[in-house]
Amino acid sequence: MIAVFRLGAPARARLHALRELYRRFFGENTPDARGRRLLSEWLTPAQLAQFEQHRYFDVVGCDTGKRYRIHYGTAANVHEINEAGIATMGWCFVPSGFLVPGDVMLAQKIALETNERGALALANRFPPATHSEHFYRRPF
């Protein structure tokens, strides 16, 4: 292996560029990144803006017209919200198998928008968290 400190400036620059390209390629092709990308393609412009700013987006149930807020995550991440945007009930329903958050959230969005009653019939209900015990937030 060539010692990096022995390379000239142009060779070091090329090596740095190659490492950055490698990092970006694999960083953008992880299962999590692909799941977020697919989710983003299915969100409306308003939902996408909301998700990029807050790490959640709102959907309207097809059967009742109720609003649900889907938070970034894979379980216990759906909240029914009132007109003021305050969570009134939590819902936990996920597709079978191990899926990344973006894939789970997309399945939840589609379920609520196309078969709300069916999704909620299978879901576990839970009381919404208070502001102080809200989700632990970590960067993407």
125 burial level (CB within 10 Å; 0-12, 13-18, 19+): exposed
Q: Please list, in sequence order, all residues whose beta carbon lies within 8 angstroms of the beta carbon of residue 107, skipping any fewer than 6 positions away.
A: 94, 95, 99
pLDDT classification of 25: cutoffs 50, 70, 90: low
**pLDDT tens digits, 33-61:** 999 999 999 999 999 999 999 999 999 99
Residues of the domain holding 117:
31-130
Domain contains 69:
yes
Residue 123 has pLDDT above 80, yes or no: yes
Domain contains 138:
no
Residue 80 has pLDDT above 60, yes or no: yes
| Among 47, 21, 22, 24, residue whose Cα is nearest residue 102 | 47
pLDDT classification of 119: cutoffs 50, 70, 90: very high
Domain total of the chain: 1
Identify the DSSP state of 130: P
Residue pair 68/62 in contact (Cβ under 8 Å)? The answer is no
